[in-house]
Amino acid sequence: MQWGKDVLARIPDELQSRSKKQLEKLRSAVLALHELLTPPEETPKDLAAIPIASLPSSILPRSIFFLVGHTTSSLFLLEHAVWSMCCAEESDAESDGHIEAFKRWVEDGPVGTSLPEVQAEVERLWKEHTSVCRMDEALLYGAPSSYPRTLPKL
C-alpha cells in the first residue's frame, strides 16, 4: 500500500480542490487496507496454536479482494489524472476527462458499487463474521433444529 500512499501524497492543489470528497474516500480505503493486510507484530511461531475462532471468517477474502481491486483501480485512475495534469501534453478537456473518470470510479465503481460501500461491507463482515456465517449455514441447511438426526443413505 506504499504505492497508494505515494500517489496520494503528490496530488496537485487543483486536483485536491476538485476531487476533495473522492480523495477522502480513497484515503480511508487505503488506510483500511493497510490495517487489514498488515500482519500483527507478534505472530505465533506455531500457526496451529492460533484458535480457529480468532481467525477471520472464510467469507472475508472475497470482500477484501473486491476492496483491493476497487482501491487499486481508483489509485491508477488518480495517478493517470495527476499525470495528465502535470506531465502530459494534453488539452484541458482531456485532463478533465481523466479527473472525471477517477471521480466516477470512486463514486460508482464497476457495477454501481462505490468505494465506501465496498469498504463498509468488509468492515461489517470483519465485525459480524460469526453471525454472518451462522446465518449462511441456516439459509443453506435450515435451522440447526431441522438438521436430520441421521445422514440419509445414498
Residue 53 placed within a domain:
no
CA atoms within 13 A on the CB side of 122: 24
Residue 150 placed within a domain:
no
User: Is the torsion defined by CA of 100, 103, 106, 107 positive or negative?
Assistant: negative
pLDDT per residue as tens digits for the range 99-136? 999 999 999 887 768 899 999 888 888 777 777 777 77
Residue 153 placed within a domain:
no
Residue 154 placed within a domain:
no
**Per-range mean pLDDT, top range of 45-54, 123-132, 144-153:** 123-132
Q: CA–CA separation, 116 vs 25, rounded Å?
A: 6
Residue 77 placed within a domain:
yes
> Nearest Cα to 118, choosing from 57, 68, 58?
68
Residue 32 placed within a domain:
yes
Residue 133 placed within a domain:
yes
> Nearest Cα to 58, choosing from 119, 137, 147, 113?
137
Looking at per-residue confidence, does 4 or 50 come out higher? 4
Q: Give the total number of structural domains in the chain.
A: 1
CA atoms within 13 A on the CB side of 59: 17
Q: How far is CA 153 from the centre of its chain?
A: 44
Looking at per-residue confidence, does 47 or 6 come out higher? 6
Provide the residue range defining the domain that includes 70.
Answer: 2-36+58-145
Average pLDDT (52-57) is 52
Residue 52 placed within a domain:
no
Using DSSP's 3-state secondary structure scheme, residue 68 falls into helix
**What pLDDT score does 34 carry?**
86
